[in-house]
Structure 1
Amino acid sequence: MRFACTIAVLSASLACPSPAAVADGLRAGAAMVKITPPPGTPMAGYYHARGAQDVHDDLFARALVLERDGAKAAIVSLDVITTTPVLVTEVRRLVQDDPGIPGDCVLVAATHTHTGPVITGRGQRDEAIGGPAGPAEAYNAALPGRIAEAVRLAHAALAPAACSAAAGREESIAFNRRYHMKDGSIGWNPGKLNPNIVRPAGPIDPEVQAVWFETGKKPAAVCVNYAVHLDNVGGQSVSADLPYTLSRCLADVQGAGLVTLFQNGCCGDVNHIDVGWGAPQKGHENAARMGILLAAEVLRSLPQAKPAGDGPIRGCREIVRLPLPEVDDAMRERAQAVKARLKDGTEPKPKFMEQVEAFKALDVLAREGKPVEAEVQVIALGPDVAWVALPGEIFVELGLSIKHASPFRHTLAVELANGSVGYVPTKRAYAEGNYEVVSARVGEGSGEMLVAAAQRMLRALYAR
């Protein structure tokens, strides 16, 4: 089922029209609004409850609004672990009302920091271990309004703009976390200097996409697209992880007014752990190291940035219905037992993989056989730049397939956007097993279905 960016009849360009047309030429505006949770708010990312104790660095909703020939779109980056359809639907409703940007032309993506608040409505795991419900519900109730405020401020900042884009490479801070082991199995995070590791079971995506927007001869915003899990910090201090240092470094060089939108690429099976390096890679220090290296590559590639070609803003989205994985009676019984033990506090607690399987099974059973609805969205700017929004933790090879087949010069594959269906492995990975496959709430072939939809939409928008 395909949706356009407006309920009105689409023009030939699939543009996203707004109520009031303005003069020709690209305009852009950017803004950021603080979304730091208060102390005591449950934190997301792990299979145990944590509450925020203090703040290392603030979290933000960063918004970029684009306008050309009356067509508008908004792109939002959130320093949170994920997005949900409920959250995104409410944000779209609010920005449709004010400043009048069609809700279907709004892309909302999470950076996937593991030191931010729980985003409610994600499933059985958060219901069981998410921590006190009151603070989480209060935070989540206020979040759509804060995001909409960022969009309104960005819209108010609209000014004539020039867009340019560059692509660099950074191979030292991202690693596939699945490995072929000597016993023939696939290991997941098998540990540093593990002698049983043979080789990685998949690639990384080393490309660093940087799309710059300049207003008044000053950089106003940059979208940085790179694929790596943001799980450096841990603990109970709120932090944006890598994007904190990335944003600070770029602002130090390009001006304090620069708004950096970090947009995570397809990194469902990619993290920051170099198993061949024995040193610890955890904490704010490692997040800062990664942020500095990524900022350096963004700046290194800047002289090679080429102006983006003129053309309309256009977009579309499609709902892809994904199959469910099989859950048999034995898995159902194990899942119910695990949930009961966690609820009662029975010791010893269920093992990690037992919890992973249990909460996956309970979420799948709750659907009562109904397919998972996953939104794929594409927003394009002229003939050179396109954003592909994917709703989940997408394996890197799927993102690479989208980018390699795209007719656009710069295609930013953005995961955890407009909702999340959880992990989305490749077909091959389903046969290999381990954590991401055990956790996946969608069945084999789902990732390839998302890729096909994205490729089809990219071709359609490029032709218009």
Structure 2
Amino acid sequence: MTTKVYISRVRLMKIVMKISLTIIFASADYSASGQVLQVGAAEVKITPPVGSVMGNSYGIAVVEGIEDHLYAKTIVLEKNGTITAFVACDLISLPHQLVKETRELLEKQTGIPGSNLIMTATHVHAGPQLNPLFWDAVGGKPKEKSKKYTHNLPSKIIESIRLAKKKLQPARVFVGTTKQNSINFNRRFLMKDGTVETNPGRLNPEIVKPTGPTDPELSVVYFESMDAEPLATLVNFALHVAVRTGDQITADFPGRIASVLADIKGKEMVTIFTNGTSGNINHIDVTQQELFESREESVRIGTILAGNVLKMYPSLRKVETNSLKIHTEPVKLPIPDIQFDKVEWATEVIRQYGDPENPSSFSDVVKAWRVLDLIELDEGLQARHAVTTTVPLTEDGQALMSEVQAITLGDELALIGYPGDAFVELGLSIKEHSPFPFTVVSEQSGNGVLSYVPNKKAFSEGDYEVRSARIKPGGGEIMVEAVINMLNDLR
């Protein structure tokens, strides 16, 4: 090697080293100035005690045991001075008072603005009963235990957020979707007599066809540290978390998903399940005989979804996180006319619901609960939330005050908080019209309970979900439009 060549190589090495050091120090400055996305994830148990009231929307059973725990699971995101929290709770829904108190505590204890929080419920049916009306139907010690449990929920959710915030670190984000067609089915059917029926039964010869589609899209958002350590996986799929009921507390199939992924990716990774719009979607295939009891079916579904996620990890696509934005948009939803002379009747129906000697019919309970959710009380908001978990009414009592929310990362990823037990058509419409190529819609979000949110077409078809709805036809589409407008502004 000549002296000239040697000197040239030394100079080249020095230049490479200088460039490398410049990149390293620039990266450090970049991170320190808040330009790099920071992510933290954590979970806190929110399992209700044995002896409290549990159940689905109308459940008045008493908890006999804990099969597996329920959690509040949180992802905190921070970038360029913006910080936001996304929390999924293993609950059937989010009472307005719970959301309100959690947002207030959030600001006081963490400094994160309450408006920068998106909360969502997995819609688990084998969890705690959160409605005071149904506590009253049971009464006694179970009622007192449920009151105490619900009172402590905001602080537990905040603890999950606080822990996630404490773990903030530079991170990368990856996304992907796949199709899973074998486990979710539209549960509303056109019958031969021209009526529409919800869950008409397996192998029912009177069934003509489903009245709507499903959403087979399984969405995954994966967060990892800069040294490729798993931080969190967000799994979204449209399927009623109602495989399990009874008197044993369980997170149902979302719990199984988390368990399987933890075995592979490590227990430090937080797995968050959010439900897509599944108000008219469940796990029952009416063309087949029942093959599994509910626990087996729950495990089967969770294992299938977890397997899909595991297959997706290698092919997930990295998202450019050049910005972080969050927005909440208030929405007024007109309500149907209420027969105020029915209030006394409705109160008595709910009171008798738990009476073994003189029980109210389920049909009457559905009607009565709807009436009591839509009347304004002279005593004000505090009195209203002693009997309902539903969002507040407007001052004129003609509409419910709801909201839609979005967190966006860069120009590609949007996480949507959509309220209520929403029909699948509404979520599909949001995805179709979203300017963000990867849009995740999580129902049971917003500022509190809305009950069922059918699409406009379903109102003329009737049956259970429509009888339960607290909004007029078109309310779901009003919120879809609000989401699309919000996303266009954020984009």
TM-score by shorter chain over 0.5: yes
- Alignment check: 8 A CA contact 2:98 2:154 kept: yes
Q: Is the 8 A contact 2:60 2:137 kept in 1?
A: no
Structure 1 residue 370 displacement after superposition: 3.5
Tell me what 2:8 maps to: none
Report if the CA contact (8 A) 2:277-2:427 is conserved.
Answer: yes
Residue 354 of structure 1 corresponds to: 364
Larger Rg: 2
For the Cα contact (< 8 Å) 1:113–1:231, is it kept in 2?
yes
Secondary structure of the residue that 2:41 maps to in structure 1? strand
Out of 152, 175, 195, the position equivalent to 1:165 is 175
Tell me the TM-score normalized by structure 1: 0.90
2:4 — aligned with what?
none
The unaligned stretches of length 5 or more in structure 1 are 1-20
Larger displacement relative to structure 2 (87-96 or 333-342): 333-342
- 1:336/1:26 CA distance change after superposition, 3 Å: closer
Counterparts of residues 59-458 of structure 1 (less than 5 Å): 59-120=70-131, 124=133, 127-128=136-137, 132-215=142-225, 216-328=227-339, 335=346, 338-339=349-350, 341-342=352-353, 346-347=357-358, 349-366=359-376, 369-418=397-446, 419-458=448-487
Whole-angstrom distance in 1 between the partners of 2:357 and 2:70? 35
8 Å contact kept, 1:326–1:443: no
Q: How much has 1:409 moved relative to structure 2?
A: 1.6
8 Å CA contact 2:257–2:302 kept in 1: the answer is: yes
1:226-266 residue CA offsets vs partner (Å, 9 max, x unmatched): 11111111111110001111001111122221101101110
Q: Distance in 1 between matches of 2:484 and 2:268?
A: 35
Secondary structure of the equivalent of 1:29? strand
**Deviation at 1:315?**
1.1
**Deviation, structure 1 residue 97:** 2.4
Query: Hey, what's the Cα distance between the residues in 1 that align with 2:88 and 2:123?
Result: 10
Following superposition, the deviation at residue 342 of structure 1 comes to: 3.3
User: How far 1:101 sits from its partner (Å)?
Assistant: 1.5
Match status 1:35 vs 2:15:
no
**2:489 corresponding residue in structure 1:** 460
Contiguous gaps of at least 5 residues in structure 2: 1-31, 377-392
* RMSD over equivalenced CA pairs, Å: 2.0
| CA–CA distance in structure 2, aligned partners of residues 275 and 126 of structure 1 | 34
Deviations 1:401-432 (A, max 9, x none): 01110011211111111312110101111110
Q: Which amino acid aligns with 1:179?
A: F
Cα contact 2:126–2:252 (8 A) shared by 1: yes
CA offsets, 1:154-177, max 9 Å, x none?
A: 111111101010011111111111
TM-score in terms of structure 2 length: 0.85
- Alignment-mate amino acid for residue 166 of structure 1: G
Counterparts in 2 of 1:23 and 1:108: CA distance versus 1, 3 Å: same
Size of the alignment, in residue pairs?
A: 440
In 2: Cα distance, 1:329 partner to 1:155 partner: 47
Aligned partner letter, 2:474: G
Cα distance in 1, alignment partners of residues 343 and 107 from structure 2: 42
Give me the whole-angstrom Cα distance separating, in 2, the residues matched to 1:154 and 1:30.
Answer: 4
Structure 2 CA distance, aligned partners of 1:343 and 1:299? 45
Contact 2:59 2:129 in 1 (8 A): no
Secondary structure at the aligned position of 2:301 is classed as helix
User: Structure 1 residues 453-462 or 43-52, which shifts more?
Assistant: 43-52
CA distance in 1, matches of 2:135, 2:465: 17
User: What is the CA-CA distance between 1:80 and the residue it aligns to?
Assistant: 0.9
Task: Check the 8 A contact 2:40/2:169 in 1, yes or no.
Answer: yes
| Alpha-carbon distance between aligned partners in 2 of 1:370 and 1:129, rounded to the nearest angstrom | 32
Cα deviation, 1:244-303, whole Å, max 9, x if unaligned, reads 110011111222211011011100111111111102554221111000111111122222
